Structure 1
Amino acid sequence: MKSIIKPVLVSILLFFTSVSFATEKLTLIKNANIFDGESKKLQMGMDVLVENNLIKKIGADLVAENAQVIDAQGKFLMPGLIDAHWHTTYAYTPASVLMMNTGDMSEVAIRSMKGAHETLMRGFTTVRDPGGNPFSIKKLIDSGEYPGHRILPSGPFMSQTSGHADFHNVFTENPRNTNSELSYWEKNMMAMIADGVPEVRKRTREILKYGASQIKITTGGGVSSQYDPLDVSEYSVDEIKAVVEEAKNFNTYVISHVMTDAGIRTSVEAGVMSIEHGFFASDSTLKLMKKKGAWLSPQAMFEEDMNWSSPVSARKYKQVTDAVNTLYKRARDIGVNVAFGTDQLLDASKAKQQSTLLVRMGTWFSNYEVLKMVTSDNARLLELSGPRHPYQEGPLGKIVEGAYADLLIIDGNPMEKLDVLGDPENKFKVIMKDGVIYKNTL
């Protein structure tokens, strides 16, 4: 009997071993000049072996049987780009659909899927989504059913009544009582209104239940919202601390939309770790952020970018753009953690400015600093999500062994000329995400 069982077991083992080897997908990139996401010094003429979705080996003269070989021809190889403030469901949907209570969420989803693909083709392989309902889109992308970028979702962003997420009509839906219906945005998991410590705790728990990687609140006024001026502060210290505590219970962190110095300081003192926008931060508040290890995520917006039809929003936008230049300079000098994010909203034709804003960062930072910011620095910010980070197999934003194979081969050296990043259609020759090649024009 033993003489029969042994060969059978060996045959089974060999079968499954052969299946395992057969399912390995190998891609070998030859002769690339590598920016690894961290070092100023390029690794010249090197090879990168990708096994399935991870970087297996980096070295010279690598050989791999049965691998798809890509000759980089001495071109620039870098990690995929990361946008730390990209609304998957807002960027490609016009205000006439998204901001009204009559919009069709099916249309929002279709536009968003198309936008996720286009964003990937600009070389952005990962985004942190700071508000909206991209959960089903993320699911389809992660399963490989549809091409698009990775998403670290915040889920519906949360504000107080009359805050940045309150889109109730001031004439027909105000005042609200505790038994009133949820707004259109709330029903569709795009935003949430919560007032008082018990309610913000409950809403935070609900958002985490959706699968949020981090929690987004608003502690100050915004450009797109109609009822909260830029100078206001929103949420009490106790309310903010309650949200932070609930996020910590889930081993993740809180980000906040806020522009005023007072709102930023209150948020950081309460434990918020990422300030979105933060345009009016004082030097003393920036120093506090540095001390706490908090991140600043502004946007490189200039006045000529303005596309707001609302006079109220247009006036607010002008105030913001006036503050951008000095903010970046001061943040860099003080040494705050600065993230790259774009926050393109409500206009598919403007979404491609994502690449323009990246190049514009060269106004305040060296080419190397910009490249590091949009790769390994942003990846370090995303790691604050801890176990709620949905991509745990390896690091993002780096070209090291064991990292995710999110890679770009670029015709030109952005370390020398940053503007090559502004022309992804022509300059990005290979776009790989998770080991899958989405573009190869070499």
Structure 2
Amino acid sequence: MTRTLFTGGHVFDGTGAPPQPADVVVEEGRIVAVGTGLDGDDVVDCTGSTVLPGLFDCHVHLMVNGLDPEGWRATPFSLPFFQAVHTMRATLAVGITTVRDACGADLGLQVAQQQGLIRGPRTFLSIEQLSQTGGQNDPWEPSGCLSPVFVPHPGRPDGVVDGPDQARRKVREMVRAGANVIKIATSGGVVSPRADPRAAHFGDDEVAMIVREAAAAGISVMAHAYSAEGINIAVRNGVRSIEHGYFLDDEAIDLMLDRGSWLVPTLMAGPGTLRAAAAGMSVPEHMLANAKLITEASMDSVRGAVAAGVKIAMGTDTGVTPHGQNLDELPLMAACGMTHAQVLHAATLSAARLMRLDDELGSVEPGKRADLVVIRGGIEPDGMADRVVAVYQDGELVHQRATTGG
């Protein structure tokens, strides 16, 4: 059995300790030792670098490439599946070895990655977002036409539901289709053609039913929620994580603290949409207006949550923004009052805890799967993607930055 030794650098182990000089030994895809003066058969020289746990992104859309409804309508149905091969590689290349797809990807994408047919982060699925009629995921346009972001198919059922009975059945359909988490929308959002992001959606009875049915299947619920009341409806009925949370108020923050809920801020989504529009992408006026609205509100909301001690896990809404730019989220989190170590913890062990994967992933500790990222320099979040040297998944080198000779 070959022992691979990562030596000569610092290790940020993800447990909350600052980076320390240390070696890491990997054997058969697992970390077997962390310390100083260790030995191995194959040596990876990490001099001048820091070894991190594999990073998480708890909110991506692997089947989307920008907010471009006109482009969506002109895209052949199967093309996004082929494009996802490249989006997954781009995600892996910045050190993200695990993602939670927040709707769009189906079971085939997950299985293809598991079987090694495509290289990418291990992917956990929500399949499709559940929303009420007239809500975030209702594709109805004023003309009466339907313009869904994701066209329903046998592996991706439609997500519009009303009432507890429909909600119960739809959760069961998503579980049948392979969902590892149930995604709901308790407010409108940027893409909503007919829904105000500041309005609350779904009633307590509907959300309670969704959470109950998900729990019966052994999985949790994540809620797209911008508005304070939409957040409150989700949290008081047992939703595990609030996605976005752009209009948090003190009541919502207190409730999240009381219930132990997580916040996945996705701070880069609004500014990224505005940059895409400025660069010439055809973003509809309602999406542009909503993006401006959330960009102005999001930083203050997340600052309040950070100061209060709400649990934070890293997520980006990538797909809305270009794939491979996920780590642009990290300096935005730091600007909300998180230390560099807290930012990286949110992208490693905190994220693993949110996804209930912390027994296997999220930290550099003996016994855990050897998902490792080697970066030049220290853990400062600015420009981290450009400093990724190598990415390992279960001990296998899955990405290495190309070097040029002189």
> Offset at 1:203?
0.7
1:36-185 map, 5 Å: 36-44=13-21, 46-64=22-40, 67-91=41-65, 94-98=68-72, 100=73, 103-173=75-145, 185=151
> Offset at 1:286?
0.5
Q: Compared with structure 1, are the counterparts of its residues 185 and 325 closer, same or farther at alpha carbon in structure 2 (3 Å cutoff)?
A: same
Aligned to 1:196: 163
1:370 to 333, 343, 349: 343
CA RMSD of aligned residues (A): 2.3
> Offset at 1:400?
0.1
Q: Deviations over 1:92-118 (max 9, x none)?
A: 6854443x3x64232100111110001
With structure 2 as the length reference, what TM-score do the two structures score? Answer: 0.90
Counterpart Cα distance in 2 of 1:311 and 1:274: 29
> Is this contact kept in 2: 1:93–1:111, CA < 8 A?
no
Aligned to 1:396: 361
Counterpart Cα distance in 2 of 1:184 and 1:367: 36
The yes-or-no answer on 1:412 pairing with 2:388 is no
> Is this contact kept in 2: 1:412–1:420, CA < 8 A?
no
The yes-or-no answer on 1:435 pairing with 2:395 is yes
Query: What secondary structure, in the 3-state scheme, does the structure 1 residue paired with 2:347 have?
Result: helix
> Offset at 1:40?
2.8
> Is this contact kept in 2: 1:30–1:70, CA < 8 A?
yes
Q: Which amino acid aligns with 2:85?
A: M
Counterpart Cα distance in 2 of 1:358 and 1:42: 17
Query: What secondary structure, in the 3-state scheme, does the structure 2 residue paired with 1:224 have?
Result: coil
> Is this contact kept in 1: 2:90–2:323, CA < 8 A?
no
> Offset at 1:422?
3.9
> Is this contact kept in 2: 1:280–1:323, CA < 8 A?
yes
List alignment gaps of at least 5 residues for structure 2.
278-282
With structure 1 as the length reference, what TM-score do the two structures score? Answer: 0.83
Q: What count of residue pairs does the alignment treat as equivalent?
A: 392
Q: Compared with structure 1, are the counterparts of its residues 114 and 187 closer, same or farther at alpha carbon in structure 2 (3 Å cutoff)?
A: same
Counterpart Cα distance in 1 of 2:135 and 2:328: 30
Counterpart Cα distance in 2 of 1:114 and 1:366: 32
Q: Which amino acid aligns with 2:139?
A: F
> Is this contact kept in 2: 1:157–1:190, CA < 8 A?
no
List alignment gaps of at least 5 residues for structure 1.
1-23, 175-181, 384-388
> Is this contact kept in 1: 2:69–2:149, CA < 8 A?
no
> Is this contact kept in 2: 1:93–1:108, CA < 8 A?
no
Q: Compared with structure 1, are the counterparts of its residues 321 and 404 closer, same or farther at alpha carbon in structure 2 (3 Å cutoff)?
A: same
> Offset at 1:420?
3.9
Q: Deviations over 1:233-265 (max 9, x none)?
A: 211111111100001101221111111111111
1:254-403 map, 5 Å: 254-301=221-268, 303=271, 305-306=273-274, 307-308=276-277, 309-346=283-320, 350-364=322-336, 365-383=338-356, 394-403=359-368
Q: Compared with structure 1, are the counterparts of its residues 69 and 269 closer, same or farther at alpha carbon in structure 2 (3 Å cutoff)?
A: same
Counterpart Cα distance in 2 of 1:305 and 1:235: 27
Larger Rg: 1
Counterpart Cα distance in 2 of 1:297 and 1:183: 22
> Is this contact kept in 1: 2:48–2:377, CA < 8 A?
no
1:421 to 361, 384, 390: 384
Query: What secondary structure, in the 3-state scheme, does the structure 2 residue paired with 1:187 have?
Result: coil
Sequence identity (%): 29
Higher helix residue share: 1
Q: Which amino acid aligns with 1:421?
A: M
> Offset at 1:344?
2.4
